[in-house]
Amino acid sequence: MSDRKVAVVTGASSGMGLATAREMARRGHDLVLSSRRPEVAADEIRSAFGVRVEAVAGGIAEPDLAARLAAAAQEMGGARALLLNHGGPPVKPMMALTDEDWSGAFETMVVGPLRVMRALVPQMQAAAGGRVLAISSFTVKAPWAGIGLSNALRAALVNALKTAALELGPEGGILVNALAPGYVETDRIRDWNDSYARQENVGVEEIRARTLATIPLRRYGTPEGYARLAAFLLSEENDYVSGQQILYDGGLVVAN
């Protein structure tokens, strides 16, 4: 066991989850990394940063994942920070969504993340403090057509986390937040742009230009920029932000 603090990151093998895992390692945390295929990311971070990294393979909705993450974190000394992340749900219009779509996405986007949080918070309570953060989306505040599962279920998770912030703050200094990306340049957003370009029969540069025109900073966010803010919120430098959904979106959503 080392005296470094332990961070658990789900959805850690690419995009913002991977960037946040790297930033936490750069700041000297030992890591428990999880996703369906976490090994490549774990090997890369272990050799780049010289911290201890345990890879726990599994989808966030798998019922036994939470216990496996808790066991791995406990063996390293107990979790002090938790980033909840996973892939986005299927894209379908509201009238095409079935009961099975809703219940499957509910397991992945709400039940699974909350089960993981419940499994790890006792370790933070034992250490008299901790930080929980979930990756959400700007579409919680400004819903888009076609992604009803994401709009609705991320909002449910964010309000569940706000409730946890109210309940866990007084019980030992656990700060709970969500960090919502706007457009962040990851593989997911590149795939997204490609599929819109095909749908609309225009070039991908046209789709990019249309998107950039809506962002006050006129550029996409970076996984590394997201990760710096996430790592701040997951650290003790964050001594007073809790129960919030913060936007990393270049000024895209200015609504309260």
Ligand X SMILES: NC(=O)c1ccc[n+]([C@@H]2O[C@H](COP(=O)([O-])OP(=O)(O)OC[C@H]3O[C@@H](n4cnc5c(N)ncnc54)[C@H](OP(=O)(O)O)[C@@H]3O)[C@@H](O)[C@H]2O)c1
What are the CB-based long-range contacts (under 8 Å, 24+) for 230-234? 230/16, 230/20, 230/23, 230/83, 230/133, 230/135, 230/179, 231/20, 231/23, 231/24, 231/27, 233/131, 233/133, 233/175, 233/177, 233/179, 234/7, 234/20, 234/24, 234/81, 234/82, 234/83, 234/131, 234/133
Binding residues among 170-229 for ligand X as defined by CB under 6 A: 181, 183-184, 186-189
User: Between residues 125 and 211, which has the closer beta carbon with respect to ligand X?
Assistant: 211
User: Between residues 191 and 236, which has the closer beta carbon with respect to ligand X?
Assistant: 191
User: Between residues 58 and 78, which has the closer beta carbon with respect to ligand X?
Assistant: 58
Size of the residue set binding ligand X (CB under 6 A) = 28
Binding residues among 95-124 for ligand X as defined by CB under 6 A: 108
Residue 16 interacting with ligand X (CB under 6 A): yes
* Separation CA 246–CA 81 (nearest Å): 17
Q: Supply the minimum distance, in Å, between the C-beta of residue 21 and ligand X.
A: 9
* Among 35-43, 99-107, 166-174, 209-217, the segment contacting ligand X (CB under 6 A): 35-43
* Separation CA 152–CA 145 (nearest Å): 12
* Among 85-93, 96-104, 120-128, 204-212, the segment contacting ligand X (CB under 6 A): 85-93
On whether the CB atoms of residues 249 and 138 are closer than 8 A, the answer is yes
Residue 60 interacting with ligand X (CB under 6 A): yes
Q: Which of 6, 56, 85, 119 binds ligand X (CB under 6 A)?
A: 85
Q: Supply the minimum distance, in Å, between the C-beta of residue 120 and ligand X.
A: 15
Rg (CA), the chain: 18
* Among 46-54, 67-75, 82-90, 198-206, the segment contacting ligand X (CB under 6 A): 82-90
User: Between residues 106 and 183, which has the closer beta carbon with respect to ligand X?
Assistant: 183
Q: What is the dihedral of CA 114, 107, 10, 233, to 10 degrees?
A: -40
Tokens of 154: 């991320």
* Separation CA 131–CA 10 (nearest Å): 14
Q: Which of 2, 37, 146, 251 binds ligand X (CB under 6 A)?
A: 37
User: Between residues 12 and 152, which has the closer beta carbon with respect to ligand X?
Assistant: 12
Chain centroid to Cα 135, Å, comes to 3
Q: Which of 77, 88, 122, 143 binds ligand X (CB under 6 A)?
A: 88
Phi–psi pair at 92, nearest 5 degrees: -155, 145
Secondary structure class of 255 (helix, strand, coil): coil
Tell me the residue number closest to ligand X, measured at CB. Answer: 15
Residue 243 interacting with ligand X (CB under 6 A): no
> Under the rule (CB under 6 A), what is the footprint of ligand X?
10-17, 35-37, 59-61, 85-88, 108, 135, 137, 181, 183-184, 186-189
